[in-house]
Structure 1
Amino acid sequence: MIKPLALSLLLPLQQPQASKLTLTKISGTFYLESKVSSTPDSNGSKNINHSANFLSASFILPIIILSIFFSHTWADQPSQPIQIRADNAQSISNLGKMIYRGNVIVEQGSLLLSGDMVTFITLYNSEMSEEGQEQHSDVEAIGKPAFFHQHDSSGRVTVKAEANKLEYFIESGIIRLQGNASIDQAGYIVTGDKIEYSTHMQSIKAKKNPENTNTRVHTVIKPKSSNEDMP
């Protein structure tokens, strides 16, 4: 019987350079190597490809906990670690992707995303020099539906949303909902084919499907209850 395995991969905050990780197994022990370079050496490329094959073929485990620290600093809050929990994971190193399947939960600070399948994408700015390359990461969740919610410091949920497809652009803090999308912001409910929510500005933009004239943006504003109006 395969025992559950928990991995915690950590990258230092505020990295001056982009880094690549190589995970290898030697004599039953996992080793993690971090290289601050966008172009692997002659051995590095081989190691990265081997890591991708190993994860694709054998990294199917009951529980996987992956914690990744980013160098991004948001304008309205400090960098937060992203934690991803799923039934299994697959690495595609040459495309900068990690694919998670099975009751996937993604958490970052006050944000939580969930879906049947989540793709974590990391890209590097190829137009810059190796030393100056910047890391750009996005999260894509697909479900029936995929969910998102955000809570305040007291733990109270202030925003909750769902859609067939949910994209989280980490650097800009934008949540994009597509397909049967709906969002509830403290009783202000919006439904539409496409919705964008800014976690920084706490603003909502909604659009109808231009190919379907029967779909329109629908908004519901809940009145305060009588109990709330009473002194």
Structure 2
Amino acid sequence: MKTLKASAFFLLALLTSNTATALSDDFKQQASINADNQYIDLAKNIAVYKGNVTIKQGSIEITADRLEVYNHGEHGVELMVLIGRPARFSQRVGDGNNISAQAKEIRFERGTNIIKLNRSAQLTWGKNVVKGDTISYDMVRQLLNADRNANKKDQVTTILQPNESKN
């Protein structure tokens, strides 16, 4: 029961923050991608970046070992697949906190602004943490779903920090 209340509190905190402002400001900025190697197939609308991949766009910072971008011929609906040990994503949001994510694979669906973390996933919001095998986070609607690996005993874990009261 305590865990249910804590999870509900955490999700309420996610839903009431001002992420949309940070999100829209970041995506209005230019993006810079750096890597050791870049391969682009213009006919298939696929780009692959390998080795020390870093992406910066506004307050968004991403690191990975490999980035695959699938454009499907339409700007703004790209699918980005980041692979790393782990791949990492961070963004400063409207309430002044940082949201960060890490997993062995991060899928970012740009058209829907959904981040899917797969294999050893962790999402941190301020000082609060959610861990699971898979985590899906809708950046616009601010919805989070975490699942455990069906083959393992580990459950989803949420760690909430106590409120800091000013005395």
Structure 1 length-normalised TM:
0.56
Structure 1 ranges of 4+ moved more than 4 A: none
Report whether the alignment pairs 1:218 with 2:165. no
Aligned to 2:11: none
How does 1:10-89 map onto structure 2 within 5 Å?
A: 77=24, 79-80=27-28, 81-89=30-38
| 1:126-145 correspondence runs (5 A) | 134-135=74-75, 136-145=77-86
Letter in 2 for 1:106: I
Task: Specify the structure having the higher radius of gyration (Cα).
Answer: 1
Offset, 1:82: 2.4
Separation (CA, whole Å) in 2 of partners of 1:110 and 1:176: 19
In 2, the alpha carbon distance for the partners of 1:213 and 1:142 equals 22
1:132-181 CA distances to partner (integer Å, 9 max, x unpaired)? Answer: xx433121110000001111369x55211110000111121111100000
Deviation sequence 1:48-68 (CA, Å, 0-9, x none): xxxxxxxxxxxxxxxxxxxxx
Cα distance in 2 for partners of 1:103, 1:201 equals 31
Matches of 1:180 and 1:119, distance apart in 2: 20
Taking a change above 3 Å as real, the CA distance of residues 192 and 161 of structure 1, as seen in their structure-2 partners, is same
Question: Structure 1: any 5+ residue segments left out of the alignment?
Answer: 1-73, 125-133
Give 1:213 shift.
4.0
- Counterpart amino acid of 2:124? D
**Quick check: 1:208–1:215 contact (8 Å CA) kept in 2?**
yes
Specify the SS of the correspondent of 1:171. coil
Tell me, which stretches of 5 or more residues in structure 2 are unaligned? 1-20
TM-score after normalising by structure 2: 0.76
Aligned-residue CA RMSD (Å): 2.2
1:163 aligns with 2:103: yes
Specify the alignment match of 2:17 in structure 1. none
In structure 1, give the amino acid aligned to 2:120.
Answer: N
C-alpha distance in 1, partners of 2:144/2:131?
11
d(CA) in 2 for partners of 1:198, 1:150: 14
Q: Which string of whole-angstrom CA distances, capped at 9 and with x for unpartnered residues, describes residues 170-223 of structure 1?
A: 12111110000011112221111110112223332111222x141321111111
Alpha carbons 1:149, 1:157 under 8 Å: kept: no
- For 1:148, the aligned partner's letter is F
What CA distance in whole angstroms lies between the structure 2 residues aligned with 1:161 and 1:141?
12
1:181 is aligned to 121
Write the deviation string for residues 39-93 of structure 1: whole angstroms up to 9, x where unpaired: xxxxxxxxxxxxxxxxxxxxxxxxxxxxxxxxxxx9x726533221112211122
* Aligned equivalent of 1:3: none
| Aligned partners of 2:97 and 2:125 also within 8 Å | no
Separation in structure 1 between the aligned mates of residue 114 and residue 89 of structure 2, nearest angstrom? 12
Secondary structure of 1:172's counterpart equals coil
| Pair 1:104-2:44 in alignment | no
For 2:78 and 2:38, the matched residues in 1 are separated by 17
CA distance in 1, matches of 2:78, 2:142: 21
